Structure 1
Amino acid sequence: MNIHQVMAWSSDVVACRDGSGQRSLLPIGCLEAVIDRQTLHHTRRDMAHLEDGMFKKKPNVKPLAPIRSSDRRKTADQIIAEYGLEKSAKDDTNAEDKAAATAERANLRNSLLPDNVQSARFTTTHGPDLRQVSGTVYVGKHPGEEERVLWFKIEDRMYPTVYTLWRHPGILPLLLTPNFVVQKLQGGADLMTPGLQNGPPFPTGAKRGAVVAIASLEKPSVPVAVGTCLIDVSALQEVQGARGHAVQTMHWAGDEIWSYSISGKPGQNSPEELEGWMDDGVEEAGVQAAELTIDDEEDEGGVTLANGNETVPLAKEVTSNLDEEQGTEDQQEDKEEEKQLTTKDIDAAFRNAFLYGIRHYMDTNKSERNHGLVFPLTQSFIMSNLVQPFLPAYTPSEASSLQIKKTSWKNIKKFIKALDKAKIVKSKERDGHETTIIDIDFADKEIQDFKPYRLPKKETQAGTLLGRGEKATTSNDTSSDSSIGQKLQKLEYYKPSARLLPLFTSPNTTPSTSSPPKDHLYLASEIRPLINHYIERESLLSATNKRLVTLNPTLANAVFDGTARLDTEVLAKGTVPRDALADRIVAACAPYHAIVRIGNNGAAQEAQAGVKPKAGPAPKVRITLETRSGNKTVTKVSGLEGYMIGPVALAEELRKVCAGSAGVEQLQGSSPRNPVMEVMVQGPQREAVMKALERRGVRGQWVEVVDKTKGKKR
């Protein structure tokens, strides 16, 4: 059989036409066995047109920089408006009711652009003519996840990456295409009109100029590419025999933006299945095959195979499968129907969620002042950090019911006052329209006796955590940061110069029968006994004053060579104090250092840890306070790598403790091959940083503080 034209296909069958015009349904597995090779080539060429994708080659990305809170909110609001993510407007004229709406919008912002997000400008090329394109990438992470590019902006338009699509189902119209076409898209190709599957009808939002997501028929609920519609896909009546570009591919799982990572980790593989993407009318792969009948009168649609005698009745089977799947879905929906929660149930859920939130901070920040909570606590902070992450919303129905407006209090302000009346917290009015918590009775019986319950595993689109086992938020957890609680020891070594070797290499200077190698390193505590031994062996002590050492030619030439201010005076006198001689010899040696962790037995484990001393004096952790954007102070921390402290983990802790944004970027001027990372946190946070460093074994004398806000060094 010679296939003349492929009209449409799904993951199971293909609708095709032979040279005589006869139309049939053919199993997809038989396609390449019987189809004309040239026809197949042109069909695949028409479904995906090869071009040079935007991020097929590595873009030039400048260093990341933290985003101001106001800019982050503005950008998040732009995304919400552009993609229609705002919930239907409600009557929030009451000032008290606005708090709940503000909290909901803050959660949505944080879910789209976390408060740890950083941005950087980039340049790349796009299209067959390699047109230069510039834009901005937004890098951030959600609790428990890796730092990734979440959005990128080109010409004032924000595009989500696949990492954002995997977290926020349904924010874009979803188009489906065969798997081999997806492979072409992941090579930089555009999606052609014949490659559109599972329609018509296509999603109503897939209009000309709209940003859309693309998934394969094999994994229809997992978007793997992002593009822009070049035509009005939603208006297409058919794709059979059509030509031309349908979607311009902007980004895909596997490109350079997908693999971009500050930590150098490879890109994350796509999940096998996601909930939410199939809820807005997108059918399962293979269902569309039921609509591939060529004419209404060809109800059974058989395919004549090579022997011409056997037919494969596919249409009825696929239709039957569709009915079974629909029945299964209806049964599943019936199972999910639950009784409506009463106002009393909702009140109890919110009160228990608050108690859970307090206990969580107490359990995960035991050594911190106020368990990591910074008073006063605003209404939005209470809702987004102490209540919503701990609500027992196991189903979409419960998530819809568990809203502050459906409680007996109606708003967060009255909820806080109820907690104050119960003497769990102490509240205070601020600015006449907001109530804040200024203190919490952590010893209250309700808090102490509270028993944590199982939290749901899903996350809502608005960013409300619906649970991860018994922990709903990440914390200053020692299990995730190996540097917390470590004990450090700084070892300073010295390497004698060639002129000083006679003081160290004499066979009689050590009990050993052989001299140390010339590259041997000495601790300061080892040098002084060697010098004393040399002085006694050479009989250099002054006969009238045992504290003075008489210079011999070796000491005069090797130590007092005129590099120090008092060398001439010492040489003229011919004597030098013993302690001054030892200090001068140590200063003349080349310094080396090693920072090691101390084992349980109190001994440095540099040998077991494989630590090799490094040239130069031991570095200090540098804390810099400087002013940005006029009068805003930021605190920077660098030099953490030598003390085995992870910058990302430290930034995450400071973000919570300081209740402000924090980020990590490469220190300007550091080597790209061996970069030094710098942590930046908003505000004058010197004390918070010092406490965090102390928890990680860094002593105060190992820290250098530079306060550029006052123009002086301390």
Structure 2
Amino acid sequence: MFCRAFRVRSNTAIKGSDRRKLRTDVAAAFPNLSAEQLTEFIPNKEELNVIKIYTHKGEAVTVYMNSRNPILFEAEKALYPTVYALWAYPDLLPAFSTWPPVLQKLAGGADLMLPGVIVPPSGFPQVERGMLCAVTLSGNRAPVAVSVATMSTAEMLAAGMKGKGFAVLHTYMDHLWEYGDKSYPPTLAPSVTEPAEKESADDEEEMEEKEPVSSFSTDPLQHVDIGDLSLKEQDSCAILMGKEEHNENKAAETAEDDNTEVQQEAEDSRTPQEQMDALLSQCFFHALKCKVKKSDLPLLTSTFLRSHMFPCCPAGQQLDIKKSSYKKFSKFLQCMQHQKILQVKELSKGVESIVEVDWKHPDIKAFTVPEGFSSASAAQDCKNEDKEQAYHAPEIIPLYGVSTKMVPLFQESGHKKGSILSSSEVRNIIVNYVKTNELVDEANKNFVKVNAILCDCLLDKSEQDEISNLKWDDLLSRCLERLQPLHQVTFFGQEPIVRKGKIEPIDITIAQRSSNKKVTIIKNLELYGLDPQSVANILQQKVQASATIAPVPGTKDRVQVQIQGNQIHHLAKMLLEEYQLPRKYIQGLEKAPKLGRKK
């Protein structure tokens, strides 16, 4: 819930009456708190603040602060303790233990899977599905995550400890923890039965070549090790700790050298999703370090993926974002933007571009080019990519949304206002509606009888008393006209994007400038996954004329290409033949200069 930055809506001091109500709610939610603990938890005189926030998913959450630390958060009328509260009251919730490396996954937004849960000799606490639970690390009773059990203890054991066990809501090192004083988890002595558990855990670690992560302590250097592990693997959004001091960087580099072999062996034990996350991060940092230049910005995210990241994929491997934990490239870029590696903006509606890259970021500087790639070859690849990398025209599908007026016609088929349908789906729904209600004209089956619903949905007021039958084609065309127009664009290697309205065509116009000179202006290239700067550069080389990028007049975030002379012939050849865009999506090709007769 808090693995990404949230937006603060308000921050106010809690009133006395609200304080009493909160204490009552806490007592009801956590009945094992004694009266003294309850008074200590919600004090009478110390200042308490209530903060209204919106998470990155748009969820409204209320956070209660005490002594600069968040102690509770409320979502959907349910109260949850934070890790700061659990460090003061570690036995507040039933706890389940896991291994230290798993924390990086949890902080990155992952849920806790049952194979990662340590089974203690004394057995699990008895919990029911939906109960609040704490997550601890082996050897330390201090909770590091707050979660909700997705199955009961009996169901966990019956499932053979497979599947998702806990939906994680909040963790140490996430943004809610960052909102407090960023203190480390305390070292709390394990319970009586935990020493045996720790010994068995140590045995398992020895069998697995001793993974280089230990349990938490108050020593900051140990937290650096955990942060650096996530940097080496580059497969989560965990916050990297302890990177400010030069000595700590040296210690991390030494640890990396010592544990190279261990990590190589550990790679084989990673899940396919974790391996794809690591490959995605490797290609990302490789592309930023060796291929993207400052002069390339702003750079379409689709171009960055297609022309820069894909060529960085090692031989024999295939980059498939759908198989990663991010599922979408846009979500991965949001994570990188949160780490302040780059900045992404929507320069035109629905089309994102990379506008800024921090090449001095520690993660970029620390990245080393994998074996098989060299700086020289990378530079040469960068020059050849624009020529060799084929442009994939986006797949564009017109869609239709059910409007308020058309709901009566579509509700029989189970659709409601806002439902999105393709033209074939609309046709099938209309045909089934006509046949189900026996509206086909028996005298002439090319006509459909207009009932009350068709009359209200498809006829104008002036037509309602005059028209009793409609031709099939007229019926379908009227239906499509009255639905809300939408369109779906699918760029190569990315998830489909659904936008309102019909897609704007690439607009080519000829304008007159001073001294009777003509210029060719091209707009809306970004909507089709084309980088205006790249198109301007290619045109400039082909026609040997000046080409520039300028904002579209009257807009804030749209750009257009302007090139000297009437260059529509060259544009037509590029867009239709090289990029293979359908002619119906290009407007203005008829303005090409007429060629003279050959002598």
Taking CA–CA contacts closer than 8 Å with sequence separation of 6 or more, which of the two structures ends up with the larger relative contact order? 1
Does TM, normalized by the shorter one, top 0.5? no
Higher helix share: 2
Give TM class, smaller chain: 0.3 to 0.5
TM-score normalised by length of structure 1: 0.30
TM-score normalised by length of structure 2: 0.35
Structure showing greater radius of gyration is: 1
